[in-house]
Structures are given as structure tokens and as C-alpha cells.
Structure 1
Amino acid sequence: MSDLLKDTRIVFMGTPEFAVASLDALVKAGARIVGVVTAPDKPAGRGMKMNESAVKKYAVEHGLHLLQPVKLKDPAFLEELRALQADLQIVVAFRMLPEVVWNMPPKGTVNLHGSLLPQYRGAAPINWAVINGEKVTGVTTFKLQQEIDTGHILLQDSFPIGEDDNAGDVHDYMKEVGARLLVKTVEGLAAGTIAEKPQDEVVSDLNGGNGAVANVDGGKAGAALRHAPKIFTETTKIDWNKTVYEVHNLIRGLSPYPGAYSYLQDKTLKIYRSKKEIAPPTIPPGTADTNGKTYLKFACPDGYIHVLDIQLEGKKRMTIEDFLRGYRF
């Protein structure tokens, strides 16, 4: 570890378990973490006990200076943040920052994003990459600017998405890949060896410099960039008129949370895992077929979706075999 990195004063901002991997990687690399900013404790569960973020738990265990502002523009928080005299701020899975915060340190604020920017800008890049059937995704470190996910790119790393990987699988692998990339980014910034690249140039490079937009999976020049907006309830409803591949990808992309759903005998059925059967269907799309013992499948125009891991309204999540043992059609 270079003295440059040890001398770089870093404030880390994050909340969930995904961010802990990055914070832990920085701590183990010897980075100088002068402060950690995370969400305030919130009541949760039936007993409404105060719930601490994963990042807070890690910070407390490792004796890191902790800040939990309710409002990021609060003068008292801003004063405390300035007092830390950070050279660099790092943001991983945190809320949107006001300019007065992200523009504070002299070396700027670096964000770790779960896609190969400029593809999949937005709140749910992992989900949408899987929903859209991407075979490759990755992580990007970039400098925060005014518009969301549009800042200059620092470094990127890619990895494959398996045919049956779900969003949870991609998330778990991505947090480790992202943590390594973040350490490499901080080392490069400390040494002054990273050249920032505007995202407009990346968009142009994807298409041989003609300025048109391409998809990360090699789509035709002129095709629109893919975005990753927040997942809403209407997004999670299965349309059985879609192809087997589209439905399978939706189920993968929404598992384990929030879960794709349909209906079984007028009750909501969440589906967390499925497999494809490409064959001419003998029943209308959306119709369920079962032998009552080992399989339950729904028809699509080009085949069937076998549901393997489900949760019926009012019941716990279970395998299809366990479900069929106790369910009567």
C-alpha cells in the first residue's frame, strides 16, 4: 500500500450489506477512513425495534467515526462533514447527495455503480440487466456530477451472467467485484494515474466513434441506451403472453426481491425460480397445468414456464414439491 493512499483522507457513504463489502475492502487495504455516513436507525419488525444499517454495524465494530444525518443539507451535519477534511468521498448504495455534499472534497466524490455505464443508469441496474437477458454486466466507478449516473468514468470491470442466475446471484458476485474495483480506483486516484473519461465519449466509442448510441450487448448502432428505473409493482406482474425467455428472465431479475407474481385460483402467487420448456402449448397462455405431484407449469405462446420455488398468498415460501403435497386444485 502506497503512502499516497494512506495519506488520502476518505469519507465513506453507504447503507446496505452491498456497501459493507467495499468498506471492508478499503479498510483491509489500509485506506484512511476518517468518517462513515449511513442512514439513521429506523424501527422495524413487529416489535418496532430500532434497526441499524449493515454499514453502521460494521463501522461500530471497527471503531470508525460514524455520522447518521436525517437530512443531508442539515447545517450541523455539513459542519461535521467539513471538519473531517476529507480529500475524497466514496458512495456505495446510498441516497442521492446534494451538490453541497458531493462537491465538498478536493478530489471529488466517487460512486460505485452496478452496471457498465453508460448502460443501465438508474436505481435498479442489476434487476434490469437480468430482466433484459444480458449475458454480461459489470461495475463502474465514476465521479459524481449533477445528473444521476452521468459523471466521468474512472474504471470498469465486467463479468458474465449465467443463464439461470438471478438478481441475488449477480448482486452477491458484484459486491465482491465492485469492492476490488473500488480499491483499485482509490489507489489510482491517490497516485494520479487514472484518466477520467466522459460518458459521452464511451457512448461514441461503442459505435466506432459515430456518436450514435449502442447497447452493451452489441446492439445495432442507433439503438437506445437501456435504463434501470426503480422497480414498481406493475413491473413485477407476469404477462403470460410474453415468450418463455422473457418470462423466465423477469422471474430471475426479480428474485429474491421483490419477486415476480401471477395468480393461482384467484390468489397471488410469487415465483422465485423457474425453468423453461420450449414446446407448442396445448392450453392458452397463462393457464396452469399440473400432475398434482411433481410439476406446476404455466403456458406461454411458445412453451411453458415450470415454477420451482414459489410463495402463495398467505403461505410461506417453498419448493414446488412441498407446495403440491399440501395443495388441492
Structure 2
Amino acid sequence: MTPPLVRHRLVVLLAATALLVAGAALAVHRAAGRAAERDRTHAGQPAVTKGEVRLGDGRRRLIFRNLVWGPQRDHLATVPLAAPGARRTAAPRDCLRFHAAAGTGICLRATGGVVPGHEAVVLDSRLRPVRRFPVPGIPTRARVSPSGRLVAWTVFVSGDSYAGGAFSTRTAIYDTRTRTLHDSLEDFTVLIDGHRHQAVDHNFWGVTFAADDTTFYATLGTQGRTYLVRGNLVRRTLTAVHENVECPSLSPDGTRIAFKKRIRPKGADAPWRLYVLDLRSGRETRLAERASVDDQALWLDGGSLLYALPGDFGADLWEVPANGRGHPRKVVASAVSPAVIGP
């Protein structure tokens, strides 16, 4: 006959075992539910494989911030430009904004720590950090010059949307050859209609570089207006050349600027449309994309543009002809902040 104390301990042990088994079964059930939910969430998204990504391997490719849900979300990924829907290869390099050219990359990313922040990281051709710069706000634009020598970035110092009232930006340019940092375009001399223009509300964003590594273009916002300004790094000047231009992107031949044009008042829904400006004649061409585009478009070649629009998992990349004809088409799902690399 089992003593009462032993029987009591046995009952307690059996009860505890039953609780552990029930808890394990519940955990397995919940894990299975989460896995099924992930499968439903990821259904239809592009396939992603971990691997090495380089900025110069002799092939023409597209690199971008991957937005497919999973462990590689927000990492840099690449696909062949000729097959943008193919399985993408993702590197262990996370970026919020990215651009690259001629073996140089610029990655704007969040930093951890007790006080979270952001930084601009200059990358080499194997995506290894070369220089790091703390930035005073939320990343929004990034560009590398065609030669790979100059890099630029813009961050929001306050506010989180161009459409949301007042905001402040900080735009910097770094010369990788001389290691010179122009930490704010607000230090440059601004000329509007041939006269020096000074105002406390100067904001600059969206740099795009010419091939000479001296000339660049950007947006100036001041007193409720936006201007396309032509910059000169040697003279440290910014000259207004056209009004109502935001997020410019210079064509490969240096003759045209793709930009977003405000067509509705601030605060209105869908306020921007994509246009192309001929720098010689000043003629504007409205493109076939009818959606509002809040992005700095990228020239795929001399005849078409790539840009981001909101998508099911954050954003998708779309292409449209640069001559105002044709129709837009989605080319890369779950992606943003692209760069074209290769010959």
C-alpha cells in the first residue's frame, strides 16, 4: 500500500506533467498558426535567397531595398535587370535608403543603442562600410554620382512627410576622393533671378549629379515655393533654374531632368505628378503615370524611368516611358530605393 505522502507527491507530479504537456501542445498550436499566417502573408511575394551582392560583377543588374516579409526584409537585394521578377539574392546589409554607381554605394540606415538614431554609410563594391556619418534625422533621399566619387543624402530633421505641413531637411555631399564633407547645402550661396537670396526657411533635398563631379541639381524649398537649383561644388553656389520642381533626377546624357511636380495645394491628396524637363528649352513633358509619385525617379536608360508607388507590402517599383507616351507597368514587387549597376 502506497503511503499517503507518496500518493500526494505522485498526484502533484502527474498534474504538473499534464500542465506541461498541455502548455507544449498550446505552444505548438500557436506556432503552427503563426507559420500558417506567415505563409498566407508571404503568398505571391517574390522568392528571396541569402547570398553575396556586389556593386560591380560585369552584369547589368538592379539593386534595391527588399520589402518581402521575412528575415531579409529591409536588406539590399539584387535581380538581373533583364529579369526583374526572378528570385532575388539578398545581402546581410540593411538600408532604409540606398543608391550606388561605379562601385560606390550609399546606405542610410537606422542605428540601435540606448538612443536610436540614423547614419549614412559609404560602401565599397562588396557592400563593406568605408565611412560612417551620423545624420540628424529620418533618411529620405540618397544618390551617388556617375563616377562613384560623390555621394549625397537628405534627411528629415523634423516632420515625416512632404505633404504634412512644415518640415525641415538637411542635405549633405561627401567627396570620397578628397574626403571633403559638405555637411549642409544651407551653407552655399543661393541665387534666384540673378540675385542672392537669403531666408531662414531654406530647405534642400533630392540631389542628382552631373558627370563632371562638380555640377549637381537639387530642390530648394523657400517661402512656399520649390525651385530646381543647379549647384557648383567648387564655387559653392546654388542657382535657381526652374520653379515647381521636386526630387530631380538627371538623365544619363545630362539634358533632361525627371521630377515630381506639385499639381495640388499642400495638404491635398495625390499632390504630385511625374514630369520631365528639357534643360535647354525649359519645356515640360507630363508622363503617363497618373498616380501621385512621392519618390526621386531613377533613369533606367535614356528612355524610361523607375520609381516607387505604395504596394501591398510597402512599395513596388514601376517603369514608365520618359517621353510622355506609353503606359506605366509594375516591374519589381516589394521593393524600393533602386540603383542600376553594370555596363
TM-score (structure 1 length as normaliser): 0.26
Task: Name the structure where strand makes up a greater proportion of residues.
Answer: 2
Task: Name the structure where helix makes up a greater proportion of residues.
Answer: 1
From the CA coordinates, give the structure whose radius of gyration is larger.
2
